[in-house]
Amino acid sequence: MTKQLPALFREKMIDLLGENEFEKFLESYDQPRSFGLRVNTVKVEKADFLAKSPFTLSAVPWASEGFYYEEGERPGKHPYYHAGLYYIQEPSAMAPVELLQVRPGERVLDLCAAPGGKSTQIAAKLQGEGVLVVNDIHSDRVKALVKNLELLGVRNAIVLNEKPERMLKVFHGYFDKILIDAPCSGEGMFRKEEEMMQQWERHSVQEFASMQRELLGQAAQMLAPGGMIVYSTCTFSPEENEAQIAEFLDKHPAFDVVPVEGFGAGRPDWLRAPWCEEEFSDHAREAVAGTARLWPHRLRGEGHFVAVLRRDGATVEGDAGSAGNAGDARDAGRAVDVVSASGKRSGREALRKGRAETSTRAAVSLEPLLAFSGELLRSEPFAAERLVCYGEHAYASPAGLPELHGLKVVRPGWYIGSLHRGRFEPSHALAMGLRMREAKRALSLASSDERALRYLKGETLEVAESEIIRDPEVTKAAKGYCLVCIEDHPVGWGKWHDGMLKNEYPPGWRWT
């Protein structure tokens, strides 16, 4: 492996680290990489998962729900994975969200979110309270982002496919916390993904540095007073790390670095030629020592850089809470709106009448959705959100959002299902976001039951009526939609009738 490292990269790291530490750094490339998973506390308590886990796990020191698993184990090929009980994630990549210090009820932005590992980690910290906006500029990567949010049962996320500069007016001063997991040259991933070396040779560090500079400036405009930004990369280059933070501090005096402990310190001494030609203030140079570097020869993980930036509490014109801004998600009452496919609201009156206009003027009845909810759900799990309809598709959108008109919205909230020709078809996302106790009809299979795997493969199952879990006082009928679970954790829908469960598991999700 070490023989394949690009020659220019080797020369640069020798200059930065010195001969002695470079030799230790180099040895790490011949060591086996570490494998990690993160327990998804949106769906399962950590202690409950550990009690049932079939894997050999040891704690990741910097991630409260993170664990190493042994090479050769295959957590992606277990029914628990399909139930969304954990996310497979490189251990060092868990650090940025831990340092973001997300609290339930906050408004959080993941600016460069695909494929969604850090987004789902943020969602677990929010515990269904507050607003999570996730964005990625690459439309081809957004599908994976949406799927991971749905798999892990996230209810309170908005998914955008937008250029950050187009988000500034809508979200000016809106967010309490922002994560920038910035596009970078990927030097820290050379051991994990050898193809990153070829990409490194094709793309210049300065090309990424330019993008990173813009992202930091844009994020600063969307942060509320007293808010926090975590900037992270998976590269070693000081041009993309300390230099970005030093330049940002000099241009944004309202911000300062929150020192990070427990990892290698940032390197102000690397702000020098030939790598960094810019001039920085003494304050900025001193502050970057409080950033963090995760080195593969010093810990069990790949290479990362993390900086925690806090904005002071001074309010400026146009910040969140000023006149004209959307209501606060933490103190707003329930808002129920119907939105047409064109984005126009048809208002509360339309919902009361059970009908909404689409952009083609065709009326869409909400009665099937209300009937489904009454028949199958013990309570309305989206009662705290706005119910919005885009054409035939219904979503539960977090309250307190500003108007999203003009933005490329992939998901305006938790996707509930579709309304078509007087019928309601519940979405797979609805099933994954529910708890078994919220359904009036459910089937719970043991992970060892061969029917669990057959269900995940899309097969029809033989299920006795006595296996359908229901409260006779709530619903006597076993026939109809049923929430299918693996050990009480939802994995999808089925339709039960006369001892047979028709499989509603989506083809694109099936076990292969």
Q: Pick the catalytic residue from 234, 276, 389, 485.
A: 234
Over the stretch 228-263, which tens digit does the pLDDT of each residue have? 999 999 999 999 999 999 999 999 999 999 999 999
Q: At 210, phi and psi to the nearest 5?
A: -65, -45
- 219 pLDDT higher than 60: yes
- 17 pLDDT higher than 90: yes
Going from the C-alpha of 329 to that of each of 149, 156, 223, 260, the distances in angstroms are 20, 11, 16, 30
Banded model confidence at residue 315, pLDDT cuts 50, 70, 90: low
Banded model confidence at residue 333, pLDDT cuts 50, 70, 90: very low
- For residue 1, the model assigns a pLDDT of 53
* 490 neighbors 484 (Cβ within 8 angstroms): yes
Range 108-124 average pLDDT: 98
Q: How far apart are the first and last CA of the chain?
A: 32
Over the stretch 49-104, which tens digit does the pLDDT of each residue have? 999 999 999 999 999 999 999 999 999 999 999 999 999 999 999 999 999 999 99
Banded model confidence at residue 420, pLDDT cuts 50, 70, 90: confident
- For residue 191, the model assigns a pLDDT of 87
What distance in Å separates the CA atoms of residue 72 and residue 368, rounded to the nearest whole number? 48
Does the annotation count 234 as an active-site position?
yes
DSSP 266: P
What distance in Å separates the CA atoms of residue 392 and residue 425, rounded to the nearest whole number? 10
- For residue 473, the model assigns a pLDDT of 67
What count of other Cβ atoms lies within 10 Å of the Cβ of residue 98? 19
Q: What is the mean pLDDT of the chain?
A: 89
Look-up of token digits 């943020």: 122
Q: At 443, phi and psi to the nearest 5?
A: -130, 125
Amino acid, single-letter form, for residue 343:
G
